[in-house]
Amino acid sequence: MKYCPQCQSKNVVKSGVINEKQRYKCKDCGYHFTVNKTGKQIDMYYVTKALQLYLEGLTYREIERIIGVSHVSVMNWVKKYNINKVKDLNYHPTYKILSQSELPKYFTDPNNTKGAGVIVTELGDKYMVIKWERFK
């Protein structure tokens, strides 16, 4: 069980990985902290998210920046789990990281979903909106 070092609250959520350490956010006071991993095992949550983003068309570097694990790790997972991405040259993905409260506002603008729609995936304490756009 994880505790917030600032207010001792147990109300903490995963909030990314930094330098291979699990990062948490306290939902009560907003404090961010990291916890050393036991062993070198990366949480399966981030393996799944990384592969999901890879399939959505994001590059290794983008995934590294968003999730906080090295692009080499991501490449190794793609190999290990035998992930084959479908190449579609007509579309490219763009993405935004939004908080829970920003999501409804995003969807009220029809331009944000028109054309190809969007996919929403949870990412730690935020949400990632991946939008597909046609190459012009």
Member of 17, 26, 58, 118 binding Zn ion (CB under 5 A) = 26
- Interaction of residue 6 with Zn ion, rule CB under 5 A: yes
Task: State the Cα–Cα distance between residues 65 and 10, nearest whole angstrom.
Answer: 28
- In the β-sheet with 32-35, what is the strand arrangement from edge to edge? 12-18, 21-26, 32-35
Member of 13, 29, 55, 97 binding Zn ion (CB under 5 A) = 29
Binding characters for Zn ion, 77-116, by CB under 5 A (x = yes): ----------------------------------------
Member of 3, 31, 33, 132 binding Zn ion (CB under 5 A) = 31
Task: State the Cα–Cα distance between residues 38 and 21, nearest whole angstrom.
Answer: 10
Task: State the Cα–Cα distance between residues 35 and 20, nearest whole angstrom.
Answer: 10
